[in-house]
């Protein structure tokens, strides 16, 4: 998620689930081609499985970005056809491409030709006054004809005129039923659903309804303790770390980051929601956010913040 997640966030999330695929925020193809590769594409091997999400609409440029990404060893490369922001529309990236399925097909064909890494697509059910019942099956058919078999569908339209990106994640109504019907109509495709999922119980229901996967965005960021810890049970995997164990497990990573000249805040900002909804959650957040700016703040701050949680639970 742009401006929210980064490699540190993924490392933190990986401590809670060994199985869930983690996605990078969208990185545009021009940025990859012209920008600093290590900064944009580098990550820790501990993050696997991890998918790189690219934004773009120029097949040759996307293919070039894929070739540059290959040495970084991503497990999947995903094309963004869902992002509604102005910046993205102006470059003809993201959700506006729902109106140009033939171009999306050309893009993914070029991306697939550029490497052996699986290429997937994240899309909406439509944009503006499109009729999702018509455009979504047409989109899936045309893009899958270009060889993509794995789709993540954000189950609401993007309204490209008049709504902010934030509103576009909240205002257009969710239509899970349509996404379920797409899975029934195209059983050979891997169809994952996204949008508005806030609990593992909901994930289980959607999987039981036949969907192949569920992508969580905001809940994974704000409440990872509820939706990432315990997620591996969906694959039949038990005994992961609890939230306290996660804090212990991230300490060596933070220590190495600080030793390399990084700042504590760059990692702890992703950890503020770890105890969301639990006694002491507020104290945890407060100690971390207030203490992080103080000179010399280091790993000890995590222990002080954990004390808040332990005290509240006692």
CB 13 to ligand FMN: min, Å: 14
Pick between residue 229 and residue 306 the one whose CB is nearest to ligand FMN.
229
Decide: is 112 part of the binding site for ligand FMN (CB under 6 A).
no
The SS3 assignment for 163 reads: coil
Residue 6 in contact with ligand FMN, rule: CB under 6 A? no
Residue 48 falls in which region: left (phi positive, over 0), alpha (psi -120 to 50) or beta: beta
Handedness of CA 227, 10, 122, 221 (dihedral sign): positive
Kindly state whether residue 120 participates in binding ligand FMN, applying the rule CB under 6 A.
no
Instruction: Between 25 and 307, name the residue whose CB sits nearer to ligand FMN.
Output: 25
Single residue of 203, 216, 243, 305 touching ligand FMN by CB under 6 A = 216
Torsion of CA 13, 15, 17, 21, to 10 degrees: 50
Q: How far apart are alpha carbons 280 and 283 in whole angstroms? A: 5
Among the listed residues 82, 126, 172, 280, the single contact to ligand FMN using CB under 6 A: 82
Binds ligand FMN (CB under 6 A): choice among 6, 18, 21, 25: 25
Strand partners, 54: 27, 79
155 counts as binding ligand FMN under rule CB under 6 A: no
- Binding-site size, ligand FMN (CB under 6 A): 21
Tell whether residue 194 is among the known ligand binding residues: yes
Binding of residue 197 to ligand FMN (CB under 6 A): yes
DSSP class of residue 90 equals H
| CA 102 to the chain's CA centroid | 25
Let me know if 208 is exposed, middle or buried by CB neighbors in 10 A (0-12, 13-18, 19+). exposed
Least Å distance, CB 3 to ligand FMN, is 5
Residues 6+ apart with CB under 8 A from 313: 278, 279, 280
| Nearest to ligand FMN of 28, 268 (CB atom) | 28
> Is 79:106 a contact under the CB 8 Å cutoff?
no
Whether 83 sits among the annotated catalytic residues: the reply is yes
Is 122 near ligand FMN (CB under 6 A)?
yes
For residue 272, give the nearest of 226, 200, 223, 216 by alpha carbon.
223
In the set 56, 132, 172, 195, which binds ligand FMN (CB under 6 A)?
195
Binding site for ligand FMN (CB under 6 A): 1-4, 25-26, 53, 80, 82-83, 122, 154, 169, 194-197, 216-219
Q: Which residues are annotated as a binding site for FMN?
A: 53, 122, 154, 194-196, 217-218
User: Known catalytic residues?
Assistant: 83
């Amino acid at each position: 998620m742009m401006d929210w997640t980064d490699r540190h966030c993924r490392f933190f999330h990986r401590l809670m689930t060994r199985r869930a695929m983690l996605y990078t925020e969208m990185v545009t193809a021009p940025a990859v081609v012209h920008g600093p590769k290590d900064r944009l594409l580098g990550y820790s091997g501990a993050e696997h499985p991890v998918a790189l999400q690219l934004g773009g609409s120029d097949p040759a440029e996307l293919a070039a970005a894929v070739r540059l990404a290959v040495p970084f060893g991503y497990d999947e490369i995903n094309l963004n056809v869902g992002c509604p922001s102005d910046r993205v529309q102006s470059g003809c990236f993201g959700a506006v491409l729902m109106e140009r399925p033939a171009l999306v097909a050309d893009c993914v064909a070029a991306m697939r030709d550029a490497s052996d890494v699986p290429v997937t697509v994240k899309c909406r059910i439509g944009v503006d006054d499109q009729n999702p019942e018509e455009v979504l099956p047409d989109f899936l058919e045309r893009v899958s004809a270009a060889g993509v078999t794995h789709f993540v569908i954000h189950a609401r339209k993007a309204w490209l005129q008049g709504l902010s990106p934030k509103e576009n994640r909240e205002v257009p109504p969710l239509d899970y039923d349509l996404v379920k019907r797409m899975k029934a109509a195209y059983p050979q495709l891997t169809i994952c659903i996204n949008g508005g999922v806030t609990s593992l119980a909901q994930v289980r229901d959607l999987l039981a309804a036949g969907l192949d996967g569920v992508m969580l965005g905001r809940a994974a960021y704000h409440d990872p303790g509820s939706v990432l810890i315990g997620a591996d049970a969906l694959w039949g995997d038990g005994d992961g770390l609890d939230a306290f164990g996660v804090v212990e497990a991230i300490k060596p990573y933070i220590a190495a980051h600080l030793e390399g000249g990084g700042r504590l805040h760059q990692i702890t900002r992703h950890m503020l929601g770890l105890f969301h909804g639990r006694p002491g959650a507020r104290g945890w957040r407060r100690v971390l956010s207030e203490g992080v700016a103080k000179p010399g703040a280091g790993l000890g701050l995590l222990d002080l913040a954990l004390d808040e949680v332990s005290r509240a639970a006692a």
